[in-house]
Every structure is written in C-alpha cells, then in structure tokens.
Structure 1
C-alpha cells in the first residue's frame, strides 16, 4: 500500500486556487513545498501540471505523475496516469499536489496532510477538501511572508 501525503496552501474559506492558479504569492510556501516533496514522487492532475510555470516542469528531483483522461497526453519528464489508482501503482510513497478533484478522490486514503494556512481573503474556484477526522500534529508559528501575507504550516494526521 502506498503512503500518501496531500500538500496544499489554503486561504480563508478553503480557497486553494482561482482560474487555474494560486491567487497569492508566498515564496516561503513554495520553499516549504519543495522541502516537503523533494525526492518523492508527486502526483497531480493535468490542470495542476498546466498551472506550473514551464521552467519548473517537470518538478526537478521528483518523479512527476500526471492524471488525465486524455489518452494521447504526454509531456517530457512526466508519466501519464489514467486515474488515481494508476498514478499510485508501484509507488512506495507519493505527495499529491493538486488539484481539488484529485484531493477529494484521495483524502480518504491519505496518511498525512501538509497545509499552509494563509491569513488572506481571496476569491477562488478551487477549494480544499474537508479536514474532518484529521488532527493537527505539527503547528508552526504564524509568520509574515516577504510578500506581506501571514501564514503558518500545519501538519495533520488521523
């Protein structure tokens, strides 16, 4: 069985995205994301792949697995998977990095959540899954990003 971690940043109201991107800029969150996922496979939906700046695709030093129904989809440095089961097949551990639909499909099987909580109100069209049944096991202090947004890192387990 694959160990599964979900990692995301969330603003007030559970907003995790807007129009295919993140409606904030918190460089410290991006550094934390890299630290958490480096060396492990990352699983994402195609829209999340498309939202990554081209210069960061594929995410370096990580196997990149992209879930898409498009049978002819391919990208250099990425492995295509037809569904979440296909994406996780053969992996000992994986970090799921989005988007909302993939999170919803896997939160019931996940072992860990790494959530960056952002103290900001933004409009969005993608939302974090419910954390009901999860408890905070790691709680970082509130900090202020160099972009001015307050944030903290939270780790959840069942």
Structure 2
C-alpha cells in the first residue's frame, strides 16, 4: 500500500476542509499515479473532489463512519479497518496488486493507514501555509529513495520526495 500527499514545510496537508493550494504539476502527478488503480480516502477528502464525486477511472474506497454513502461498481464504502482489509484482500484475489493501493487523505485516514504503508510519494512545497490538518510524522524506519530537483509552479517552489519503509 502507498500514500500520496502534498505537504507544506510543516507537513500540513489542509486548511478548513480543503487543500491549501492546487499545483497543476502535483495534480497531474496524482492522476498519473492513481488512474487505473485504487484510491482510499475519507469522507472529508471526497468533499474536496470536483462536484464532491468519486474520481473517475479509479476504484474509490471511502473509509468513513457515515452510513449514508452509496456504493457503485467503482465506489466501495468501508466503515472500519477490518472492512477495508477484507475488501483489499478480495481486490487482490481479483488481480490487483499491493502497489495499486494509494491512500490519499485526509489526516485521519493517513494516521490510521500509515502503519500498513510501504511507500510514500510526497510533493513537498517550500512554503508555510495556513493549516489545520497534518500528515503524520515519519519515524526512522522511513528512508528517502528519490528526491527531485526543486521546481516552481504558480510562484510556489516544490520538489517530489519518495520514501520507502525499511523492513
């Protein structure tokens, strides 16, 4: 299982229920990584998607305690980690691989699933933004496996940093 996330200098991920900023290259990277794969997120993250709809061309898994969300062919709703892991096993039996699962927020979902994640793909912005939600701190078991050169979009400097959990 993987995480994909955009953070500022303080590893904050959001403010007032939304992303702090939308960088076009980061959104493209997110799409490139997740199309054709499985994304796992919470109800509040769903509210940040266009028209509050699950993202197309991916299997969407919403981890929430709310009972009013509807499932469809590409949208599954799980109300516990146990339900999520049962679904994950079924999807692997159907032919998906562990590397095709991407956790994409928000804070609570990242915190719950980080212990099960093997790789993290971070867009790290070199700016401090107003924030009220954060990506969990990474322990010593996480090692950087890739770090891009600094880039800039919409006046914000950023780089891509990939981490992998050491076994």
Aligned position for 1:62: 58
Rounded to whole Å, the distance in 1 between the matches of 2:34 and 2:144 is 19
* 1:75 positional shift: 6.0
CA displacement, residues 98-135 of structure 1 (integer Å, 9 cap, x when unaligned): 01111111111101000100011111011011111201
Structure 2 residue corresponding to 1:140, chosen from 136, 145, 148: 148
SS at match of 2:70: coil
Runs of 5+ consecutive residues of structure 2 not aligned to the other structure: 93-97
CA displacement, residues 33-80 of structure 1 (integer Å, 9 cap, x when unaligned): 11111211101001101111217x321210011111112322665211
Aligned position for 2:91: 91
Matches within 5 A, 1:6-155: 6-54=3-51, 57-74=53-70, 77-88=74-85, 89=87, 90-92=90-92, 93=98, 94-132=101-139, 133-145=141-153, 147-155=154-162
Rounded to whole Å, the distance in 2 between the matches of 1:107 and 1:129 is 8
Question: Deviating runs (4+, > 3 A) in structure 1?
Answer: none
Normalising by structure 1, we get a TM-score of: 0.90
Rounded to whole Å, the distance in 2 between the matches of 1:20 and 1:91 is 30
Give the total of aligned pairs.
Answer: 153
Please state which structure has a larger fraction of its residues in helix.
2
What is the Cα-based RMSD across aligned positions, in Å?
1.5
The answer to whether the 8 Å contact 1:84/1:102 transfers is no
Query: Which region of structure 1 is more displaced relative to structure 2, 81-90 or 91-100?
Result: 81-90
Runs of 5+ consecutive residues of structure 1 not aligned to the other structure: none
